[in-house]
Every structure is written in structure tokens, then in C-alpha cells.
Amino acid sequence: MIDKMQERDPQIERELEELVGVLVNIVPQLTEVRIFGSYNNGNWNPKTSDIDVFVETGDESYSKYERSFKKRIDVKDKIRQNIESNCEDFLRFSINLFTVEDVRKDSGNIGYAGNFILAAKSGRLIHPSKQNQAVN
């Protein structure tokens, strides 16, 4: 088995740290950030692949089930504005914003939505760190 730690790109890891810093300051009630998909499972191609980022908030007003998507769009725009100046290539990040309730609803679905949540929630936790979770 290939060691996933060996496959991690140091530049990407620095950019992920910067992204978490931006998310902490912008996303209200941020509960967790995970990396999933090809970058996490070792199939990532730096020329053609994006990096899937799962962002979870406890603020249900950001739910994808809310009638107005304006808050979701605004927060993603703020993230982009703050990260573009910090990261070499922001477009490589595919940010997926969910609320705790979105995750609960979608994880019970059969098909794409349920599989997506399962994949995202099984990704590498980068915020809060596992060390912080053990302390709390």
C-alpha cells in the first residue's frame, strides 16, 4: 500500500493551511474542514485535478435547503476574495459548503447525495485537528 503522506504536495499543504485560516475567519460556526477525493486518496493529478474541500457550518441559515442561496454565494465569494491573494492557484480548490443539518439529511439519501456526503465525511480532517478534538 502506498503511503498517502508521501503523496502530499508541500505547496498544496501550505495552501490548505492558509485556506483553513480564511475559513475560520469567514465561515460562521465552522465545525470542520475535510479534504476528500483524488488528492486525499492518492489519485490526484496536479495538471488536471481539483482538490475537494468539505466545509461544515453549524449555522443552518447557510443550508442548501434554504430558499435563498445568497448567503451561500456571499460566503463563497468572501472565501475566494481572501484566498486568491494567498494561494498560488485558488481554482484548484472545489469548496463544498454544508450545514450540520444538510449532512444529516443527505447522508440518509440513497444515490449521489448520500454517497457524496459519505465520501466527504471519510476524508482527511484538517480542522479542527484531531489533537484539538482529543483535548475537547
Tens of pLDDT, residue by residue over 72-108, are 889 988 988 887 666 666 668 899 999 999 999 998 8
Residue 120: pLDDT band with limits 50, 70, 90: very high
pLDDT at 135: 43
- In words, the CATH class of domain 4-135 is alpha beta
pLDDT tens profile 22-80: 999 999 999 999 999 999 998 988 889 999 999 999 999 999 888 778 888 899 889 88
Determine contact, residues 54/96, Cβ cutoff 8 Å.
yes
Distance CA 111, CA 34 (A): 21
pLDDT at 133 over 90: no
**All cell numbers assigned to 89:** 492557484
